[in-house]
Amino acid sequence: MSDPGNLVLVIAIAMMVAAILLAGQFAYWSLNARQEEGQRELSRRIGVVSDKQITPLLRFGAAGAAEGLTGYLDETLRSAGSPFPMDRLYQRIILWAVGGLFVGLVVLRSPMALAGLFAGTIPVVLLVRVAAARLERLTEQLPDGLDLLARSLQAGHGVGESLRLVAEEMPEPLASEFGRVFEEQNLGRDTRECFQNLCRRNPQSFDLRIFVSSVLLQRDTGGNLVEILQGISNTIRQRFVFQGKVGALTSEARFTAYILGGLPFAIGGLIMVMSPGYIEPLFTDPLGKLMVAGGAIWFCTGVFIMREISKVEL
């Protein structure tokens, strides 16, 4: 019978070779995508090609973006400001997964090495955090941007010139979003389509959808756009005030939850340092392993339920 250690090494080497080949293939696809990116972007801005037709590698159309993992990744990537194309995200996922599996097979040499595949979720988790941080900044900047837009309209400027002013005066990411709307309008795209694309790029921003809906409705029915923008800005600010009050009222409960959540890990670590033999059966005995797994499952379930209960719809 062959040595299990040699078999593990052979499997690890084969996986690394496959990872290198995949990385090379993705690099080739990425190079081709970047070479065509400028032409596609110009065509999209002037309206020759719609957003649904511009689908980079492994990024499906809007019909598939509403369902499945690909749709979720596509939406998250757009919410993060599209820092890189979809094919590069898939490349990072595969490389992290293969790398985690390689470390598990070579370093740990355990049946649990397959858990190293979950390392492929790390790029997605980081992307979700980037998207959440960008959405938070966009929401915080939106009231000031709307006030600036309203003052510019009040001074007699048109909507396009007001958008340009916001793009020049406001910080990122609001500046780039409004600047892109202004640029698309200047290149001849329909105003309604320009504002709708703004919502498509930021699908998680409820305030932005309210703003776009108000502007488009005002264009169709008439009305005082300055008052509408000022009303939206005041509403967003009032919600910020309410969020602050909710945070202050629930701060004690959240701090208590942090303490109770960290207490098992702190006590367990202290016991492992002071008396390792006392807690060792939890990790060596089959019944102990079952108890640890059950405790972890119930702990995560409790944390999830508490987070859902404590959410406040604004």
Distance of alpha carbon 24 from alpha carbon 28, whole angstroms: 6
The CATH class for the domain spanning 133-248 reads: mainly alpha
Tell me which of 57-61, 66-70, 212-216, 277-281 is least confident: 57-61
- What is the pLDDT at residue 116? 65
Report percent pLDDT > 90 for the chain.
Answer: 5
Strands (E), 163-226: none
Q: Is the predicted pLDDT of residue 58 greater than 50, yes or no?
A: no
- Residue 147, pLDDT score: 92
- CATH 1.20.81 positions along the chain are 133-248
pTM of the model: 0.66
Q: CA–CA distance from 40 to each of 7, 50, 54, 260, 293 (Å)? A: 48, 10, 7, 53, 50
CB under 8 Å to 290, separation ≥6 — which residues?
none
The chain-wide mean pLDDT, for the chain, equals: 77
For the stretch 101-127, pLDDT in tens is 777 676 666 555 566 667 778 888 888
Q: Is the pLDDT of residue 47 over 60?
A: no
